Copies of this chain bind each other. A is one copy, B any other.
């Protein structure tokens, strides 16, 4: 009736734990944490962006992100400044040091993906990723439905 070992949330969680443990230790050698790595990667890819957008891109809570950015700014990895168009927002950008650091780490990160997918051919790897995107979207849709239900009953 219920089997933990084939329960999707559990399967996803244990991979997350294992990856975070392994890659996190490697990142420690560079003096950064896993959330910091995600911030650097998101900034590298999509360029400077507002804090809110960065929170979505990295799946990190805004308040958590704010303190994380403060630490990264102290370490000279990112720069924050009020946006000119809408002075309520804050624009976050990579510094040169941050850009250099993420560039050095990317090969390590790709190595982890290679290992995780070592016995997958390219088509299967793509299929897996596509399915994971669908799963993510499905859960997001659930949340929105939940919110609407809450709104209707309020």
Contacts and interface: CB of A to CB of B under 8 A. Distances in A.
Interface of A: 1-23, 38, 41-42, 44-45, 57, 59, 106, 109-110, 112-113, 115-120, 124-125, 127-129, 131-136, 138-143, 146
Q: How many copies does the complex hold?
A: 2
Contacts of A18: 59, 136, 139-140, 143
A116 B127 CA distance: 16
Contacts of A19: 9, 12-13, 139
8 contacts: A2-B41, A4-B41, A4-B42, A8-B125, A14-B136, A22-B142, A118-B141, A127-B131
Q: 5 shortest A-B CB distances, which residue pairs?
A: A11-B132, A16-B16, A14-B59, A17-B59, A115-B142
Contact of A16 (B5, B13, B109, B146): B13
A115 B136 CA distance: 10
Most buried by B among A18, A112, A135: A135
A59 to B, nearest CB: 4
Contacts of A109: 2, 7, 9
A41 B14 CA distance: 14
A142 B2 CA distance: 30
